[in-house]
Amino acid sequence: MRHYEIMVILDPSLEERTVAPSLDTYLNVIRTAGGSVEKLDVWGRRRLAFEIDKKAEGIYAVIDLQATPAAVAELDRQLRLNESVLRTKVIRPETR
Amino acid sequence: MAKAAALRKPKKKVNPLDKDGITYIDYKDTALLRKFISDRGKIRARRVTGVTSQQQRQIARAVKNAREMALLPYTATAR
């Protein structure tokens, strides 16, 4: 079990209040694999420093979780398959 | 004259991270990272920032992570 931090940039045309529930459904992958979600933080709409897919804004969300590497890799794969996910980043904050 | 300039003592810089007691450089903290990039978006050199080489590496990695997530620009067209 390791601590991971995942940042996701979502399509700005999504409704902001639907973001947390829909991300939560993805997080079931972690829970069924025995991991635990510590924090789901939706930053909301934020200006991008440069355009991604012709979009100037994005909805940012940061997820803190404890899980196995395989479970996180699967979560990241599923997120990337979703068209409304512009970008993801998985980080292990403890490793310098 | 030229000799005097060559012997000029460089002013000792204070380490901006130690001063604020920052031990972990988070790529999400763009306000902090902006202090270490130029107005063009380039990472400032260590001789400019005055941090240790270990900290400089952490800063560089944090800036690059932040760039990937569009939190900081790769290039800024100032002027």
pLDDT digit string (tens) for A28-54? 989 999 899 999 999 999 999 999 999
Write the CATH number for B54.
4.10.640.10
In a domain, B42, yes or no: yes
pLDDT digits over B64-79, tens only? 999 999 999 999 876 5
| Number of structural domains chain B divides into | 1
Q: Mark yes or no for CB contact A9/B73 under 8 Å.
A: no
- Residues in Cβ contact with B53 at an 8 Å cutoff, skipping those fewer than 6 apart: B46
- What is the Rg, in whole angstroms, of the alpha carbon atoms belonging to chain A? 13
pTM for the model: 0.84
Residue B42 domain boundaries: 14-67
Q: Mark yes or no for CB contact A7/B58 under 8 Å.
A: no
**Is the predicted pLDDT of residue B3 greater than 60, yes or no?**
no
In a domain, B34, yes or no: yes
Q: Mark yes or no for CB contact B67/A7 under 8 Å.
A: no
**Is the predicted pLDDT of residue A86 greater than 80, yes or no?**
yes
> Could you report the predicted ipTM of this complex, rounded to two decimals?
0.85
Question: A48 versus A95: which is more confidently predicted?
Answer: A48
- Residues in Cβ contact with B3 at an 8 Å cutoff, skipping those fewer than 6 apart: none
In a domain, B1, yes or no: no
Contact B25/B59 with Cβ under 8 angstroms? yes
In a domain, B38, yes or no: yes
In a domain, B79, yes or no: no
Chain A's closest residue to B67, CA to CA, is A49
In a domain, B18, yes or no: yes
Please tell me whether residue A5 adopts helix, strand or coil conformation: strand
Give B28's contacts in chain A (Cβ within 8 Å). 7, 62
In a domain, B53, yes or no: yes
